[in-house]
Each structure stands twice: as C-alpha cells, then as structure tokens.
Amino acid sequence: MPRWRWLPRALLVGALFSFGAAHADCPSGRVDAQAHVAYVIDGDTVILADGRHVRLIGLDTPELGHGGKPSQPYARRARQALVALLASSHDTVELRYGEDRRDHYGRTLAHLFLPNGTSVTAALLRDGLATALVVPPDLWDSACYADAEAAARSRHLGIWSLPRYQPIASRALPADAQGFHIVRGRVVHVGRSRNAQWIDLDGGVALRIARRNLKYFHNVDFSALRGRHITVRGWVHTWKKGDRVIAVRYPAALEIGH
C-alpha cells in the first residue's frame, strides 16, 4: 500500500501547495522510463513497483534514524514531503537515468519527475529539505539544482534555518565533527600526492580532490590558492591519523575568495 495514503489531509494539501510553483524548474529534457513508486524509504530513495530501489540524483536529505540512532532534523519532514509530492501524480514518475546507472549499493540512479514536468529534486531543494549534491559523472542539471538550493538558503527555509548548516570557520570546526558542513578557512598549504590534490586550511582541515576528479578542476590554479580564503561544502570525515578531511568532487563545492 502506498505510504502517502497514511498522510493527514492537511499535511498533504500543504505540501502540494508548496511544491506547486516548482513544476517549471529544471526540466527533464528527456524521459528514459515511466514507473510507479511503491514505497518511499526516505527523502532521497524510493522503491518502484518493479522492485528497483532508486536513489535520486542531485540531492541529499537528512538521515532517518536506524538501529536506535535518532533521525537528523528535517529527515522525517523530507520523507513526508516526498510522499506528498508523489501523491499528486498517483505514484507515477518519469525517470531520467544518470551517467552511472547504479551506485555501489546496487540502487538505480535517476532524476525523478512527475508527469506534469515537476522536478522532484528541485522541489525538495527549493523547500530547504535537502542539500544539492554533485557526484561526477552525473553532472546534468547540477547548476539548476544549485539555484533551487540557493533559493531556500536565501530564505532560511528548512535545514537552512539550523545552526549546523551555517558556515563555520575551519579553526572552530569541532575535532569530532562528522557529516555535512559548510567550512570557511584560509589555505595554508597546497600539495599533490599520488592519488589526490590536497588543500590544507588553517585549523587542521584538509580538502581532498581525488585524481579521477581533477579533470573537472581544469580552471582552478591550485598553486595560487595559498593564503586565500575558501568556503567549501561537503561531508567531514576522519582520515589517517585522525585528520579531518572533506572530499571535494566538483568545483561547485568550492567558493574561492581573496
């Protein structure tokens, strides 16, 4: 039974009204398949009637709690919004497949649209329920998705009203920081290893660009970055020796200042 049938009428109507203006944003360009959604796992993953798990391209929503861990703020709301959005099309969606058809979990990667042209990704981003995510080689419509996110950020909607989604100085980033952050810092060192380009910020935060992704940074002069200030968005994780590292896959994740 489709999960959206369990939504209260007021929530459903409110969500549909919110999404109504987004249908013209980020048009699909082409449709590779039409399908029916059987179940919504979370804000960025659904199960189709044919059993395929589909991971939406272009966004990342807060994580629902599992194994006793609490859900991240707005995780349930993102899922509810996706449920309501799909209800407006009676669970029918159109898919535009990514350059990579599957991720390492075996999920199908696709952009989802409603039959009326509504971009599901853009709708969630515009309501502040997700962060824009670029994972090469799936770059299609990334600029449009970034604009949708920027609209939500400018209005402090959803997750963008929370302190953890506001920019933080690299020197102030907690030693145990994990997950998505927007970090600002001054470049103190730039270097190249066998497998990556490294950019070190003050405060002991390092940015890592894997060699396979360097082709997207052909307009960036890494040698000229030392001493300049950078704002980077991405997921903080612990590297060797406990260093805090942010993997940077695409130039849109970097804002280079003076």
Q: Where are the domains of the chain?
A: 3-161, 167-256
Using the 8-state DSSP alphabet, how is residue 135 labeled? B
Q: What is the pLDDT of residue 114?
A: 98
Q: What is the pLDDT of residue 85?
A: 98
CATH of 3-161, one of 3.10.110.10, 2.40.50.90, 3.20.20.80, 2.30.30.40: 2.40.50.90
The list of the chain residues with pLDDT below 50 reads: 1-24
Q: What is the DSSP string of 142-185?
A: HHHHHHHHHHHHHTT-GGGGSGGGS-EEGGGS-TT--EEEEEEE
Q: What is the pLDDT of residue 22?
A: 42
pTM of the predicted model as reported, rounded to 2 decimal places: 0.87
167-256: CATH topology is OB fold (Dihydrolipoamide Acetyltransferase, E2P) (2.40.50)
Q: What is the pLDDT of residue 21?
A: 44
Q: What gap in Å lies between CA 63 and CA 159, rounded to an integer?
A: 12
Q: What is the pLDDT of residue 17?
A: 38
Q: What is the pLDDT of residue 151?
A: 97
Q: What gap in Å lies between CA 62 and CA 129, rounded to an integer?
A: 8
Q: What is the pLDDT of residue 96?
A: 98
Q: What is the pLDDT of residue 239?
A: 84
Q: What is the pLDDT of residue 5?
A: 37
Q: What gap in Å lies between CA 106 and CA 129, rounded to an integer?
A: 25
Helix or strand holding residue 9 (H, E): helix 9-19
Q: What is the pLDDT of residue 198?
A: 98
Q: What gap in Å lies between CA 195 and CA 191, rounded to an integer?
A: 11
